[in-house]
Structures are given as structure tokens and as C-alpha cells.
Amino acid sequence: MITCGVWQERSKLLAVVLDDAGRASKPIRMGTSIPAAEGLVAHLDDTEIVIAEPLLALPIARSAAASGRLWVAPTALIEPIRLAASLSARGSAAMLARLPRIAAVRPLLHRRATDPRQLTLL
């Protein structure tokens, strides 16, 4: 499974892609605009995208949800890991990308296949 973790660094987004062997790519830096989000999702064809819960309001969440490849990591899960490991923005993005690969953690993540602004009724 190829995964990509997306983390916000100041006013930019930082994406780190992990290949099937778990090797991290160089970070991809991009803006938070709609064209930038759609471009990243198109570039990451067949890649599972993992974002932190606070990023749900950004265009990257809507673009990734529309592709059906979005995983959302709850803040209560990722913040203790980030603080304990003193992760940088790149390290945080790589950590997010690794979460769906861990069988014990996967049930704690949320899959989003619709626009995150919509309410789930059932």
C-alpha cells in the first residue's frame, strides 16, 4: 500500500509519500488552495491520503474525500505521538502516512468517502 501523510506547516501543507517498502519520499510542499489540493490528489493517483483531523476544513480534505482515498487521524491519537517523539513537520507527515499500515491502529482512523462538510446521519 502506498500512503501519503499530509501535515500543515505554517501556511503551507507538507506531504510525505511512503512506498510499498515503507521508504519516505522527499517532502512535497504546497499551498492550501483548491487548485493545489486537486493537483496533489491527481498526482497521488492510487495513493491513500492520511490527514490530521484539524485539516478537515481545508481543500485537501475535500479533494481527497472525493477521490475515495482519505483517512482521517484523530487529534487524540496523533498529538501524544508527536509530542513524545518531538516530531518535525516532515516527521509528522511521515508518521501519518505510516498509521494505516499498522493493523492495531487502523480501526482508530476514519475513512472519508464524502465531503467532510456533510454530516453523517447513520
> If one looks up domain 3-112 in CATH, what number appears?
3.30.420
- For the chain, which residues make up each domain, given as ranges? 3-112
Counting residues of the chain whose pLDDT is more than 90, the rounded percentage is 80
pLDDT value for 67 = 87
pLDDT of 115 > 70? The answer is no
pTM for the model: 0.87
**111 three-class SS:** strand
pLDDT value for 76 = 95
pLDDT of 12 > 80? The answer is yes
Q: What average pLDDT does the structure give for the chain? A: 91
Compute the distance between CA of residue 25 and CA of residue 109 in angstroms, rounded to an integer. Answer: 23
- Whether 4 and 15 have beta carbons less than 8 Å apart is answered as yes
pLDDT tens track for 38-72:
999 999 988 999 999 999 999 999 999 888 889 99
Compute the distance between CA of residue 30 and CA of residue 33 in angstroms, rounded to an integer. Answer: 9
Compute the distance between CA of residue 115 and CA of residue 64 in angstroms, rounded to an integer. Answer: 9
- Residues 87-105, mean pLDDT to the nearest whole number: 95
- Residues 31-38, mean pLDDT to the nearest whole number: 94
pLDDT value for 121 = 59
pLDDT value for 85 = 95
pLDDT of 119 > 90? The answer is no
